Amino acid sequence: MANIKSQIKRNLQNEKRRLRNRTVRAELRTRTKAAVAAAESGEGGAEELVAAMHRIDTAAAKGVIHSNAAARQKSRLQRRINSLNA
């Protein structure tokens, strides 16, 4: 346990951010799975894809994930959707 006052505060801040980031990452996974499932079933795939891409961009803008990681996730998701539609 930290003895220094600033480190105690820093630990509290880190825990709040960790919980917030965890929910954002969980939302990313949920939206991605929904987009793939919609593309497989053939209904509403475009709306789900747009929602997933938007969530990925938002997470990158907030710093939850790195911008390169966001680009990679979007690229892989788009390729997967395209392969399902082809």
Q: Where are the domains of the chain?
A: 5-85
pLDDT of residue 42: 82
Q: Is the pLDDT of residue 32 over 80?
A: yes
Distance between first and last Cα of the chain: 56
pLDDT digits (tens, 9 = 90+) for 38-66: 999 887 788 999 999 999 999 999 999 99
Is residue 76 within 8 Å of 70, Cβ to Cβ? no
Top-level class of domain 5-85: mainly alpha
Q: Is 84 exposed, middle or buried (0-12, 13-18, 19+ CB in 10 A)?
A: middle
pLDDT of residue 36: 94
pLDDT band, residue 86 (cuts 50/70/90): confident
Average pLDDT of 19-27? 96
Is residue 73 within 8 Å of 56, Cβ to Cβ? yes
pLDDT of residue 2: 84
